[in-house]
Amino acid sequence: MDTRDAVHRLIQESDGLLRLRPAWVSRIFLPPGKRLGLPDEAYDAGERGYITERWIASTTEAENPILTPNEGLSYLDVPSGPDITLRDAVQAAPDLIMGEDYASAHSGLGRLPKFFDNADRLPFHIHQRQEDAVKIGKKPKEESYYFPPNVPMGPHPETFFGLHPYIVRENRRDIVVRLLEDWEHSDRFLALSRAYLNVPDDGFHLPAGILHAPGSALTIELQEDSDVSAMFQGRLAHTLLDKGALIRDVPPEELARKGMMALVDQLDWEANGDPYFYENHHTPPVPVEGRMTGASEEWWIFYNTTKYSGTKLIVRPGGSCEFADKGAYNILVWDGRGEVGGLPVRGRDSSADEIMVTAGRAGRGVKVVNTGGEDLMLIKFFGPDINDDAPVLKKYQ
């Protein structure tokens, strides 16, 4: 049986709901916050660093200094038969998973949800914009953050974003170049930026090309399906990253011609110095129209972009709801226990908290039932161009 036939059979047998296995990803930057539900010893990935991320319904491979085949890819949770990655399933049967019309206009799911779970703040870095990523045959990486409730926030729950407005207004690119050239002291980059507190049940939207150093809060991130980056900050406490983390996604000919200015040119210079950065990028939950009932409530938490969108759905104890959606999406159960389309689910249990909902089933509606004694909370992740009614922030200038 080929992959398309196998996926077709699974979709028929599951009525369009595909369980997924968790995908754990290692990083070398920082030790783990140990909030992903693994045994303590499982966080140590040896020479690859630590398990600090879990990718959700992922069709994207992780780009790490030590490459591991299929790291980052999600697998269908098939009881028997050959292993099938979600990427292979989407490539073999895009119409069956994404719907025929959507699949004809999109080359894949186009988004990547993930947890990141670090014991400290990540280094100051950017993700490349379209015009820069395409030069090396990669995709850009716009992203958004949501800080889930009921979990420790870590020692530094604040995120640095952008540059002080005067640096951009006075076009002081030389300041950034000097720090990039002084890799030993690149931890001083944070003095050029401003920090914002990570608040539970809150979040931010971050277009590509903007410098940021995410804080220690456990974060659910939704982003474009890419792993491009440039680490502007190489010094982390007593650790110095290899400078390859800075230049890996810069065309070698541009680096040879421009030096460190090649990295500065990858910044969205004006957006980094936005004096209304908080107002233009802060994304608190927004009610979804028509979905606030006594038994359940649904809120936008990933919005302000057409690249992806997402909601949190809360169902009260003993309650249920059933809504149809405009396209394929995947579910992560964060808290509580219940049923999704008849499938048992449990929050904080990686063997029973992840489901891919095909477009056909999404359009017919999925019933969610809370069978426990506490709120059932799940996150729904959508790809590009599905929810054209997602909120857009008022632009402050």
Q: Residue 296: inside a domain, yes or no?
A: no
What string of DSSP letters covers 8-58?
A: HHHHHHHTTEEEB--EEEEESSS-B---SS--GGGGB-GGG-EEEEEESS-
User: How confident is the chain (397 residues) per 10-residue block, as mean pLDDT?
Assistant: 93 97 94 96 96 98 91 93 93 98 98 97 97 97 97 97 98 97 94 98 98 98 97 89 95 97 98 98 98 97 98 98 98 98 97 98 98 98 98 96
State how many domains the chain has. Answer: 1
pLDDT reported for residue 332:
98
What pLDDT does 367 receive? 98
Three-state DSSP at 296 gives strand
**Residue 15: left (phi > 0), alpha (psi -120 to 50), or beta?**
left
Cβ(341)–Cβ(17) under 8 Å? yes
**Residues in the chain, overall count:** 397
Domain annotation covers residue 373: no
In a domain, 118, yes or no: yes
| pTM over 0.85, yes/no | yes
Asked whether residue 332 is domain-assigned, the answer is no
The CATH number given to whatever domain includes residue 152 is: 2.60.120.10
- Whether residue 378 lies inside any domain: the answer is no
Sequence-distant (≥ 6) Cβ neighbours of residue 47 within 8 angstroms: 66
Tell me, what's the pLDDT at 191?
A: 96
pLDDT recorded at residue 237: 73
Non-local (6+) Cβ contacts of 89 within 8 A are 3, 7, 18, 76, 97
What are φ and ψ of residue 46, in 5° steps?
Answer: 65, -135
Q: Which amino acid is at 359?
A: A
Say if 309 falls within a structural domain: no
Is 262 domain-assigned? yes
State the residue range of the domain holding 246. 110-281
- Measured over the CA atoms of residue 231, residue 232, residue 238 and residue 239, the dihedral's sign is positive
291, 325 contact by CB (below 8 A): no
Report yes or no on 190 lying in a domain: yes
Q: CB–CB of 23/54 below 8 Å?
A: yes
**Cβ atoms 378, 332 nearer than 8 A:** yes
